[in-house]
Chain A
Amino acid sequence: EIVLTQSPGTLSLSPGEGATLSCRASQSVSSSYLAWYQQKPGQTPRLLIYGASSRATGIPDRFSGSGSGTDFTLSISRLEPEDFAVYYCHQYDSSPRTFGQGTKVEIK
């Protein structure tokens, strides 16, 4: 199975700052079948990015995804108060589907 490793585990930032989250796969994710989810406490995960770089419906353009092969990045250009949450990467290239362990973006 493809193991996804996210870094850092926790990112402490202030509103207005930019955030860069990394997701590294143990083997190549073909055709960039890589997604990013946001999850807030007590809520279900929300799809942000699919296909490594396409924003899901209704996702603000301050969120962007990039990368290919084994290295992927989620960038948030200017953190809004509602962006403080846990972010997971997810590969849907091969079964079993796998998730990264998550990166928590917290208020500094």
Chain B
Amino acid sequence: EVQLVESGGGLIQPGGSLRLSCAASGFTLSNSWMYWVRQGPGKGLVGVAYSSSDGSITGHADSVKGRFTISRDNARNTLYLQMNSLRAEDTAVYYCAKLVRRGSRDDYWGQGTLVTVSS
């Protein structure tokens, strides 16, 4: 059974940092492109960052570029999102996901971890 379990969320002051983790099981992380998707309170889904299977290709949304960094440790089956210089508008549930892609209909989401940026 595929499982994605996020951790690391919480209440943080503006300007602070958090590192989110996503523990993957039930599939081979080293063969999978992975994504972080966030959803603000009462808002829609927004792609935040992505990582190729070996981590050599990454991308970040313009809204987080220079502040957030996606990375992975395939040996530990874990995906990360380092979030620095947090702002109130970063408040959201952050989902780790293995999304449908060309040639694969596999689509799995974690339960999400809530990040609240507030003083």
Contact = CB atoms under 8 A, between A and B. Distances in A.
A81 to B, nearest CB: 23
Interface size class of A (residues with CB under 8 A): 20 to 34
A47 interface: yes
A44 interface: yes
Given A44-B110, A97-B50, A33 B102 contact: yes
B95 A97 contact: no
Question: Which of A31, A96, A98, A100 has the most chain B CB atoms inside 10 A of its CB?
Answer: A96
B50 A35 contact: no
A17 B105 CA distance: 29
Nearest to B100: A50
A39 B42 CA distance: 12
Interface in A24-45: 31, 33, 35, 37, 39, 44-45
A54 B105 CA distance: 10
A27 B110 CA distance: 30
Interface size class of B (residues with CB under 8 A): 20 to 34
A99 B44 contact: yes
Contacts of B35: 97
Nearest to A95: B59
A57 B47 CA distance: 23
Given A50-B105, A92-B101, 17 more contacts: A31-B102, A33-B102, A35-B107, A44-B95, A44-B109, A47-B100, A51-B105, A56-B100, A56-B105, A57-B105, A90-B45, A90-B99, A92-B100, A97-B35, A98-B47, A99-B44, A102-B45
Interface of A: 31, 33, 35, 37, 39, 44-45, 47, 50-51, 54, 56-57, 86, 88, 90, 92, 95-102
